[in-house]
């Protein structure tokens, strides 16, 4: 989903580095060189590859795969298809994945991938050809014990299935564990499709519980209605929140009395968008961020909450379903205004957590029940949130900085214990 709320030209990698530097001021017990090392991705791959189109023409596409860190285990991170993908965005997303995995305590490092393409302009056959060729190009990095991709913006279970099949054909045997987010029929995990959205709700619920509050009766607005946004909206709706606004790439809908989220989902399945949902009025993606509500869930793309609009946000809690939706300048404004920000590296870590579960199940060829997966997911996210909250209180810092302090300490200590090779 592409929306613009600011004229800022600051790229995502610059934002990620600013966040790291802010956290580094509070990190204890590690040498500075170990932190300095984390400013740089471990390896980067840029690929340019031809794809034969349905009309017989050939187009060349550019793709990326970046590994930020392998200190704590294999690299893990999604693949996105979007016309605005660039190397700096992929670097930032890989770094944030390193932090996310460290915070929830799973043995992964961060990675990310992407192809510069608008998949809506491709036929299904063209999309498959592009995916299989990209998978082949990055297979020099990708493997079940080294780098495990997953879905991200504009990619899904079908695309993961094509990637897994392509890799398996090259190996000569089925390799279930090479990607996660696959269809159940091909080794996917129960609960993976809803994990990120459900995780957003679990973190919101735990934060409110500590304040003696519940979700029931609170007003929520959700920017983005893809996998993360729709499941987040449905989850808080089922907990009793009044969801007054949701949006997608075509626009948003608003009803101050509340939207029937299951019916909105049905409307999207039928029409392809939330737009023109009966009984609602139109709002833009930018306007949605400033609507009166208690909980704002930005679940679209990055850089949506900036210094230009942060002062006008009405919500008192922001739960980040998207990666990097808030700029460092906006973070400072929210901190000054006393607005609670549940940062992406905690709030949307449900996806990578259940991806880890899927990977473990695939390696063992033994699968868990949906109930077991959801219980494990909630336990990990609640414990991770509380660990971050404790640091926030102890060091008198905001939650995002606290989360990155926890992550950087864990990764930098792994670097120090490992030492330098040779």
51, 136, 151 from 125: Cα distances, Å: 11, 17, 19
Residue 9's pLDDT is 54
Confidence of residue 232 (pLDDT cuts 50, 70, 90): very high
Confidence of residue 302 (pLDDT cuts 50, 70, 90): confident
**pLDDT above 90 for 4:** no
Hey, what CATH topology would domain 195-347 get?
Rossmann fold (3.40.50)
Q: pLDDT tens digit string along 43-84?
A: 999 999 999 999 999 999 999 999 999 999 999 999 999 999
Name the DSSP class of 261: H
Residue 7's pLDDT is 41
Q: pLDDT tens digit string along 379-421?
A: 999 999 999 999 999 999 999 999 999 999 999 999 999 999 9
Q: Do domains 40-182 and 195-347 have the same CATH topology?
A: yes
Nearest residue to 107 via CA among 361, 321, 345, 352: 352
**pLDDT above 80 for 2:** no
Q: Cβ neighbours of residue 313 under 8 Å, at least 6 residues apart? A: 289, 290, 296, 305, 334, 339
- Mean pLDDT computed over 90-114: 97
Please confirm, yes or no, whether 395 is among the known catalytic residues: no
Mean pLDDT of the chain: 95
Say which CATH class 40-182 falls into. alpha beta
- Mean pLDDT computed over 82-107: 96
Select which of 18, 76, 100, 112 is catalytic: 112
Q: 86, 116 in Cβ contact below 8 A?
A: yes
- Mean pLDDT computed over 231-238: 98
- Mean pLDDT computed over 313-327: 96
Which of 114-123, 299-308, 372-381, 386-395 is predicted with the least confidence, judged by mean pLDDT?
299-308
Q: Domain extents for the chain?
A: 40-182, 195-347
Tokens of 6: 């600011």
Residue 10's pLDDT is 74
Backbone angles phi, psi at 289, to 5 degrees: -65, -20
Backbone angles phi, psi at 115, to 5 degrees: -125, 135
| Helix, coil or strand: residue 368 | coil
Task: List the 58-67 sheet strands across, edge first.
Answer: 43-52, 58-67, 109-116, 75-82, 147-151
Question: Between 4 and 405, where is the model more confident?
Answer: 405
Q: pLDDT tens digit string along 387-396?
A: 999 999 999 9
Strand 58-67 and strand 109-116: the pairing is: antiparallel
**pLDDT above 70 for 219:** yes
The secondary structure of 105-141 as a DSSP string is T-S-EEEEEEEE--GGGS-HHHHHHHHHHHHHHHTTT
Q: 245, 217 in Cβ contact below 8 A?
A: no
């Amino acid at each position: 989903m592409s929306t613009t709320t600011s004229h800022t030209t600051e790229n995502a990698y610059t934002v990620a580095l600013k966040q790291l530097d802010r956290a580094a001021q509070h990190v204890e017990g590690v040498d500075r060189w170990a932190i300095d090392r984390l400013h740089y991705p471990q390896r980067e791959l840029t690929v340019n590859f031809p794809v034969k189109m349905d009309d017989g023409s050939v187009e060349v596409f550019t793709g990326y795969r970046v590994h930020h860190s392998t200190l704590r285990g294999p690299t893990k991170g999604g693949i996105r298809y979007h016309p605005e993908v660039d190397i700096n965005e992929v670097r930032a997303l890989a770094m944030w994945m390193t932090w996310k995995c460290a915070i929830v305590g799973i043995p992964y490092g961060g990675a990310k991938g992407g192809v510069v393409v608008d998949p809506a302009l491709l036929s299904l056959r063209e999309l498959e050809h592009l995916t299989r060729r990209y998978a082949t190009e990055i297979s020099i990095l990708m493997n079940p014990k080294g780098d495990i991709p997953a879905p991200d913006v504009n990619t899904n279970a079908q695309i993961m299935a094509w990637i897994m099949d392509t890799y398996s054909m090259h190996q000569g045997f089925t390799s279930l564990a090479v990607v996660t987010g696959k269809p159940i029929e091909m080794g996917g995990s129960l609960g993976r499709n809803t994990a990120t959205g459900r995780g957003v709700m679990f973190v919101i619920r735990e934060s409110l519980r500590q304040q003696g509050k519940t979700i029931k009766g609170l007003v929520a607005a959700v920017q983005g209605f893809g996998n993360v946004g729709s499941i987040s909206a449905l989850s808080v709706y089922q907990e009793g929140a009044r969801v007054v606004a949701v949006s997608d790439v075509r626009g948003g809908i608003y009803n101050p009395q509340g939207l029937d989220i299951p019916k909105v989902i049905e409307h999207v399945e039928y029409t392809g968008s939330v737009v023109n949902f009966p009984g609602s009025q139109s709002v833009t993606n930018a306007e949605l961020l400033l609507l009166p509500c208690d909980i704002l869930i930005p679940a679209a793309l990055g850089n949506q909450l900036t210094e230009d609009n942060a002062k006008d946000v009405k919500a008192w809690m922001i739960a980040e379903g998207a990666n990097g939706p808030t700029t460092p300048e906006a973070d400072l404004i929210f901190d000054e205004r006393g607005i609670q920000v549940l940062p992406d590296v905690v709030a949307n870590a449900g996806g990578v957590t259940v991806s880890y579960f899927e990977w473990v199940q695939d390696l063992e060829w033994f699968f868990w029940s949906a109930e077991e997966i959801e219980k494990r997911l909630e336990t990990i996210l609640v414990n991770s949130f509380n660990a971050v909250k404790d640091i926030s209180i102890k060091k008198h810092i905001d939650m995002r900085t606290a989360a990155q302090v926890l992550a950087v300490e864990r990764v930098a200590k792994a670097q120090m214990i490992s030492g330098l090779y040779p």
